[in-house]
Amino acid sequence: MKLFLIRHGESYGNKRKQIYGHTDYTLTPMGITQSKAVVDYLQFKKIDRIYYSPLKRTKHLLNLMQTNSISLIEASWLIEMNFGIFEALTPKEAALKHPREYNNYMNNYESFTIPEGENYSAFCKRIQNNLKNNLPSEAQVFAYITHGEVIRVILSLLTGMSYSELWNLKLPPASVVELCSDNSSYKIKSVFYG
C-alpha cells in the first residue's frame, strides 16, 4: 500500500505570506512551474486513485496530470482549514485588525474557534473521520492533492509523528511525501520538492 501526499504549487496567498485556507487563490508563475515539476516526478509512478481538494490551486496540478486510467474523487474533506476572519491577512494584519481573537488563536489554537472559521481540533477530526475510509488497501496506490496543514494532520494520524516533528518537516509548495505501509503502520519513504 502506498500513498502520495501532494501539496499544490505556490499560490498568490503563499507569495504574499497571508493566512489562508478557504480563500481560492490561483497559482503564481512559480507555482505553475513547480506543478509541472511535480507532474514530471509522478509521471512514471503507478497511481490507482486521486483524491483532490476542489480549490483552484489543487485542481491546477490535477489538470496537468495524465489521469485517463486513474479514478478521480473530489474530496471537500481535503480542503485546508478555514481561518475565518484571518483569511487573506498577513499575521501582522490579523494581529492589528483582530488583536483579541488573534492572541486567543495563537495561545489556544487547538480549542479556539476562529470567528467565521474553524476550530483546529474540529479540522483534525474532519480529516480523521474521512481518512479511515479512503486509504489504499492491498497493492493499491492513492494520491491526495491537498494543502500543507492537511498533509501534516494526515502524517500525524498515519505515522504517529508529533506536532513538533511535523513542524520541523519541510513541506513547501509542490512537495510530495511518499508513504508506504506494511499493513500495520505507515512510514515516510521519500519527500520530493518541486
User: Percent of the chain scored above 70 by pLDDT?
Assistant: 100
Tell me the per-residue pLDDT of 101-143, one tens digit each, with 9 for 90 and over: 999 999 998 899 999 999 999 999 999 999 989 999 888 999 9
Tell me the per-residue pLDDT of 82-92, one tens digit each, with 9 for 90 and over: 999 999 999 99
| pLDDT greater at residue 184 or residue 94 | 94
Please report which confidence band the pLDDT of residue 156 belongs to, taking 50, 70 and 90 as the band edges. very high
Q: What's the half-sphere exposure (Cβ side, CA atoms, 13 Å) at 92?
A: 2
Contacts of 112 (CB under 8 A, 6+ apart): 101, 104, 105, 119, 120
Please report which confidence band the pLDDT of residue 41 belongs to, taking 50, 70 and 90 as the band edges. very high
The per-residue DSSP string of 88-111 comes to TB-HHHHHHHSHHHHHHHHHSTTT
Query: With 80 as the cut, is the pLDDT of residue 184 above it?
Result: no
